[in-house]
Amino acid sequence: MNRHKAIVLAITMLAGGIFGMRQAGAQTFQTYRCADGTQFIVGFYDEDKRAFLQIAGEPVTLARRLAVSGARYSGAGITLTVGKTGTTIKHLKRPATACAVI
């Protein structure tokens, strides 16, 4: 490959990389405090069906599960339910507890 073709190829690849980049999806972060004293942060990203938690000092990713109404996420022994009537979390073999945004 001659030098001219190499330069054209490099410019094409660079331009394709720059113009082909997508903006990161919007995200939503909420901090919750629960009736049993549990506090956690949950993050949601537009193009991802999972919930990302920071709870008890540990990061946990929860998969979205089938729910009759609202949204339910679970994984690693944690279940997060977000519905019209409120948000609950169940973890560490504790009963589900009501949580509110702080």
H runs (alpha helix) in 1-102: 3-20
Q: Kindly indicate the confidence band of residue 55, based on its pLDDT and cuts at 50, 70 and 90.
A: very high
All domains in the chain, ordered by first residue: 24-101 (2.40.128.200)
pLDDT tens string 10-51: 555 555 554 445 555 779 999 999 999 999 999 999 999 999
Which pTM was predicted?
Answer: 0.73
* Token pair listed for 74: 């679970």
Q: Which residues pair with 1 in a beta bridge?
A: none
Share of the chain above pLDDT 70, in %: 75
Given this model, what pLDDT does residue 18 score? 45
Given this model, what pLDDT does residue 26 score? 77
